[in-house]
A = this chain, B = another copy of it.
Amino acid sequence: MMKCTKCTSADAVMRAGFIRGRQRFFCKSCDYHFTDNKALPAPERKRHQTTISDVAKVLGVAPSTVSRALNGHSDINSNTRQAIIDVARQLDYQPNLLAQSLKSSETKTIGVVIPDIERPFFATAISGIQQVVTEAGYRVMICQSKESYEVEVSNVQALIASRVDGLLICHSRETQNFDHVKPLACRGIPVVHFDRVSNEVDSAKVILDDWNGAFNVTEHLIEQGAQRIAILAGPESLLISRNRLAGYQHALKRNQMPLRPEYEVHIEFQPEEAVAALDAWMALPEPPDAIFAINYTNAFDLLVALKKRGLRVPDDMAVVGFGDEFMASMIEPGLTTVDLHPYRIGQQAARLFLEQMRLKEDFQPRTFVISGDLVIRQSSLKGKGNYFKLEI
């Protein structure tokens, strides 16, 4: 029969059912349950990363002493400290950030949510963010919403669950409801909005000066002699779209030019829509002689479509875009745009996060405005004979 693990006698032992697949016993004399520990599968030596106690054991000191030594605490003898540091290096000790984070409830990680990393604007913004926060010792976790509200919400939740120290977010095009970011602010987790912001949330923001950029680029077209300027605007739900439209309108008004509703077209940024808009404009009794596309890809779409139709850019039709991607300078003719400085936007957003971490409750949420710079290329220089000439 089975021997009791305590009294080692087998007299009072009886079976007591099965538990988790193993036979269970009960010793009446000891009043003690135990299980058949015969085939304990394996000690399963899992790979061990050097810990603070390993270092402590080598030197015969307490783990807390090692911790003090490594963190430059004062309550430690300099000889002891040096010895500990030496052993730690020798054993290739690497502090376990998880344990540290659990203790300090700081992960030294920030979350970034953007619509799409493949868009140069966001890729560059992320570079700016990373440059600033890595200097401050933060790591970056990046999520893409792919312009979906649902994905954005789950992204934010995943980041919260990962206990990020802060959140930098540019909302998806769909996002109208901002309840998913409010809990963050309540819990004291810094939130910084950039590019596409929400006024519903009381957070720090970095926006680009859409109004001014649109105003400037429109005035530039007017200076170039454009008489009838159309605008290829984005979805009316998007704040940036409304702002750019307003800047455009103001430039027209300031120059005593009429606002023509037929020249204002809202699209979802799809190439086919841009082409359709162009066709509609060209069918007008008075077609425009310049187009302001608030999205740079649509500007390219227009250039291609215009060439196909045999129209000369910029003499028959000037085109300007918004957002100075690398491409704008490479195409032919070069596209006049507004450089939005995405890198600076990212940097500034990151700096606002760091500032908020430093000041905590004393931080006053504020909005940073990054102004774009007009970059003039051939696509808007009317009447200068630039078309297909290549004096860049």
Contacts and interface: CB of A to CB of B under 8 A. Distances in A.
A142 B126 CA distance: 10
A102 B94 contact: no
A188 interface: yes
Most buried by B among A143, A160, A304: A304
A118 B127 contact: yes
Interface in A113-160: 116-118, 120, 123-124, 126-127, 130, 139-144, 158, 160
Contacts of A97: 161-163
B118 A107 contact: no
Counting chain A residues whose Cβ lies within 8 A of the other chain, the interface size class is 35 or more
Interface stretch (A209-217, A232-240, A257-265, A324-332): A324-332
A139 B141 contact: yes
Nearest to A130: B144
B327 A187 contact: no
Number of copies: 2
A25 interface: no
Given A94-B160, A97-B162, A141 B141 contact: yes
A120 B118 contact: yes
Contacts of A99: 102
A313 B140 CA distance: 44
B96 A102 contact: yes
Contacts of A307: 332, 390
B117 A120 contact: no
Interface string A271-307: 0000000000000000000000000000010001001
Given A300-B330, A308-B392, A332-B332, 10 more contacts: A94-B160, A97-B162, A98-B98, A117-B117, A117-B126, A130-B143, A130-B144, A139-B162, A307-B332, A327-B327
